[in-house]
Amino acid sequence: MARYIFITGGVVSSLGKGLMAASLAALLQARGYRVRIRKFDPYLNVDPGTMSPYQHGEVYVTDDGAETDLDLGHYERFTGVSARQSDNVTSGRIYQTIIQKERRGDYLGATVQVIPHVTDAIKAFAQADTEDLDFVLCEIGGTVGDIESLPFMEAIRQLRNDIGYENTVLVHVTLVPYIAAAGELKTKPTQHSVRELTSLGIQPDLLLCRCEQPLPESERRKIALFCNVRKEAVIPALDAKSIYDVPRQYHEEGLDTEVLRAFGIDNKGKPDMARWDDVSERYTNPEGEVTIGVVGKYVGLQDAYKSLSEALVHGGMANRVKVNIEWLDAEMFENPEDLAAQLEPLHGILVPGGFGERGSEGKIASVKFARERNVPFFGICLGMQMACVEAARNTSHIAGASTTEFGDTDEPIVGLITEWMGAEGLEKRAEDGDLGGTMRLGAYPAKLDGNSHVRAIYDSEEISERHRHRYEVNTKYVETLENGGLIFSGMSPDGELPEIVERPDLNWFVGVQFHPELKSRPFDPHPLFASFIKAAVEQSRLV
């Protein structure tokens, strides 16, 4: 039976529970254990698919088509274990499932209550699909004391009783703030947070204390005394130089050792950290640097492009260079003078995914600049579609070219797809249907042209990449666009959906309908990002 590690947070949000969970899982994995990480999100949305990036950050998409919390991206990048639909659940999804059962009469007339029905559903989620695993790490979103998280906390309390305390460990992530005026670290917020947790019937086994200053032994003893844990189980977590240093830092502070001790597992061995040492060395000691401009719509919140920024860093690691990212608001590029001043110093231009018309003309202008100046260009999802609209207008002479996403047009280079072939057959969507969960989601295969640039990059004739979109390039325009120099080098296996475009006459110009950033890992950079950064390195020698 799998053992469970529950991760909660206190005092304030944004303490890094997701990164902590990913790092602990990586450490256990480095010791030879099989791991999986899950996220409980207390909000009432069924999933983050309809939430604004400014509210929630990016939506991370799994191979099986789940729209999930961005923390699952951390989990995948740190462990290499592909997340699944069953690895992220929200209060909204739990309540939706229960209400559907109640409407069908599945409860046989019983009064439906938070206990036991909601808590039983949460426990069932936690225990589903855990065969052949050694550890399941479950991160609870939000902070202890939030009214939304109470059913999840109660479910944890019950589950520890159900499967035995010897099979569960609870790690509480908390804040030890430094008061500059007093010159002291204050332990009282941690004490109050643990008191709140124990009032719910849950005693933590370990405390991970986020702090800006080293945590003295005296303060560790004080926290241990008041919070009823061993001093060695009070783990300091100072800010690291990079997220890729966190696994080793936590190991050196004894996190994985104490977790195994709490389970009663012999932990005399050491994890194999060679992979993480190599990642850290490549990140810390680059042999050069490049600057990539990301021309997007949500650049005010970098979490909206979290996987993208990490994939660019991974591409830098593959080429042993530091990647400097310039976040550029697409709306300001609707003035040509502003565009040239901002884009000329760049070694590469990337136009990412997004939704809606705002900033679209700036994105199109950025594509045109990259094409005319032969600057490495990478278009992702909407970025590829804008590359096709730019090609239609400027190299295929279709003056009114646009996309139906922005309104009615006589030249719909990009249009809404209402049906496509999925893993389980034909999938259909209504134009006026619900927004949530109705896009083309998850991993789909594509076939690559044997003579194309992307065929050489992937070193494969068939690929599988993750999608999240509801508009596609109209195949009616393929021949016209190719006559203008934009080549369709990747298509769906049935030849109906364009997946990749490129310009073979330029140094590096690729647009993809999917999201390759979702499959990039620090120890296994995505080939498209590695190749893009390589082209940027070559561009930097020309500037």
- Together in a domain, 314 and 223: no
CA nearest to 218, candidates 256, 185, 181, 178? 185
Q: Does residue 508 lie in a domain region?
A: yes
Structure-model confidence comparison of residues 170 and 337, the more confident one: 170
Query: 320, 287 in Cβ contact below 8 A?
Result: yes
- Together in a domain, 274 and 295: no
Report how far residue 230's alpha carbon sits from residue 233's, in angstroms, rounded to the nearest whole number: 5
Is 44's pLDDT higher than 70?
A: yes
CA nearest to 165, candidates 216, 205, 110, 115? 205
Helix axes of 71-79 and 306-318: crossing angle, nearest 10 degrees: 20
Domain end among 256, 278, 300: 278
DSSP 338-386: HHHHHHTT-SEEEE----SSTTHHHHHHHHHHHHHHT--EEEETHHHHH
Residue 325: its H or E element: strand 322-329
Is 435's pLDDT higher than 60?
A: no
Q: Which of 117, 453, 515, 526 is catalytic?
A: 515
Query: What's the confidence (pLDDT) of residue 424?
Result: 56
Report how far residue 505's alpha carbon sits from residue 104's, in angstroms, rounded to the nearest whole number: 60
| β pairing state of 377-380 and 348-351 | parallel
Report how far residue 483's alpha carbon sits from residue 281's, in angstroms, rounded to the nearest whole number: 46
Query: 497, 467 in Cβ contact below 8 A?
Result: no
Q: Does residue 317 lie in a domain region?
A: yes
Q: Does residue 453 lie in a domain region?
A: no
pLDDT band at 408; cut points 50, 70, 90? confident
Query: 427, 472 in Cβ contact below 8 A?
Result: no
The alpha carbon of 407 is separated from its chain's Cα centroid by a whole number of angstroms, namely 30
Q: Does residue 440 lie in a domain region?
A: no
Helix axes of 91-104 and 119-127: crossing angle, nearest 10 degrees: 110
Q: Does residue 423 lie in a domain region?
A: no
Q: Which of 253, 405, 472, 517 is catalytic?
A: 517
Query: What's the confidence (pLDDT) of residue 143?
Result: 92
The three-state DSSP-derived secondary structure of 95-155 is HHHHHHHHHHCCCCCCCCCHHHHHHHHHHHHHHCCCCCCCEEEEEECCCCCCHHHHHHHHH
Query: 351, 296 in Cβ contact below 8 A?
Result: yes
Q: Does residue 121 lie in a domain region?
A: yes
Domain end among 278, 300, 317: 278
Is 18's pLDDT higher than 60?
A: yes
* Residue 402, Cβ density class (10 Å: 0-12 exposed, 13-18 middle, ≥19 buried): buried
pLDDT band at 423; cut points 50, 70, 90? low
Query: What's the confidence (pLDDT) of residue 136?
Result: 97
pLDDT band at 168; cut points 50, 70, 90? very high
- Together in a domain, 105 and 152: yes
Q: Tell me if residue 517 is catalytic.
A: yes
Identity at 355, one-letter amino acid code: F
Query: What's the confidence (pLDDT) of residue 420?
Result: 45
- Together in a domain, 15 and 144: yes
Q: What is the pLDDT of residues 258-303, one digit of tens each?
A: 999 999 998 778 899 999 999 999 999 999 999 999 998 877 777 8
| β pairing state of 322-329 and 178-179 | unpaired
Q: Does residue 485 lie in a domain region?
A: yes
- Together in a domain, 138 and 176: yes
- Together in a domain, 107 and 192: yes
- The CATH number covering residue 505 comes to 3.40.50.880
Query: 522, 317 in Cβ contact below 8 A?
Result: yes
Residue 194: its H or E element: helix 188-198
Percent of the chain with pLDDT over 70: 95
Report how far residue 516's alpha carbon sits from residue 512's, in angstroms, rounded to the nearest whole number: 8
Identity at 75, one-letter amino acid code: Y
Average model confidence (pLDDT) for the chain?
A: 90
Structure-model confidence comparison of residues 14 and 130, the more confident one: 130
Report how far residue 383's alpha carbon sits from residue 349's, in angstroms, rounded to the nearest whole number: 11
Report how far residue 342's alpha carbon sits from residue 43's, in angstroms, rounded to the nearest whole number: 39
Give the residue numbers spanning the domain of 384.
287-416+472-540
Q: What is the pLDDT of residues 230-253, one digit of tens each?
A: 999 999 999 888 999 999 999 999
Please count the CA atoms within 13 angstroms of the CA of 451 that sit on its side-chain side.
Answer: 3
Q: What is the pLDDT of residues 153-164, one digit of tens each?
A: 999 999 999 999
Whole-number Cα distances in Å, 330 to 136, 327, 337: 41, 9, 14
Query: What's the confidence (pLDDT) of residue 267?
Result: 76
Q: What is the pLDDT of residues 95-122, one digit of tens each?
A: 999 999 999 999 898 999 999 999 999 9
- Together in a domain, 363 and 235: no
Q: Does residue 105 lie in a domain region?
A: yes
What's the average model confidence in pLDDT over 13-28? 93
Q: Tell me if residue 515 is catalytic.
A: yes
Q: What is the pLDDT of residues 349-388, one digit of tens each?
A: 999 988 776 778 888 999 999 999 999 999 999 999 999 9
Question: Rg of the chain over CA atoms, in angstroms?
Answer: 25
Query: What's the confidence (pLDDT) of residue 433?
Result: 53
Is 17's pLDDT higher than 60?
A: yes
- Together in a domain, 207 and 342: no
- What backbone torsions phi and psi does residue 103 show, to the nearest 5 degrees? -65, -30
Report how far residue 194's alpha carbon sits from residue 183's, in angstroms, rounded to the nearest whole number: 24
Domain end among 278, 311, 327: 278
DSSP state of 484: T
- Together in a domain, 271 and 294: no
CA nearest to 296, candidates 327, 265, 252? 327
- What backbone torsions phi and psi does residue 81 show, to the nearest 5 degrees? -90, 120
The three-class DSSP label of residue 309 is helix
Is 52's pLDDT higher than 80?
A: no
Percent of the chain with pLDDT over 90: 71
- Together in a domain, 179 and 32: yes
Q: What is the tally of structural domains in the chain? A: 2
- Together in a domain, 97 and 120: yes
Report how far residue 386's alpha carbon sits from residue 378's, in angstroms, rounded to the nearest whole number: 11
DSSP state of 306: H
Query: What's the confidence (pLDDT) of residue 390?
Result: 93
DSSP state of 433: S
CA nearest to 20, candidates 207, 217, 216, 193? 207
- Together in a domain, 329 and 272: no
Query: What's the confidence (pLDDT) of residue 180?
Result: 87
Query: What's the confidence (pLDDT) of residue 285?
Result: 93
- The CATH number covering residue 105 comes to 3.40.50.300
Exposure string (b/e) for 323-351, b if CB count within 10 Å is 16 or more?
bebebbbbbebeeeeebeebbeebbbbbb
Q: What is the pLDDT of residues 203-216, one digit of tens each?
A: 999 999 999 999 99
Residue 39: its H or E element: strand 35-41
Q: Which of 138, 211, 227, 381 is catalytic?
A: 381
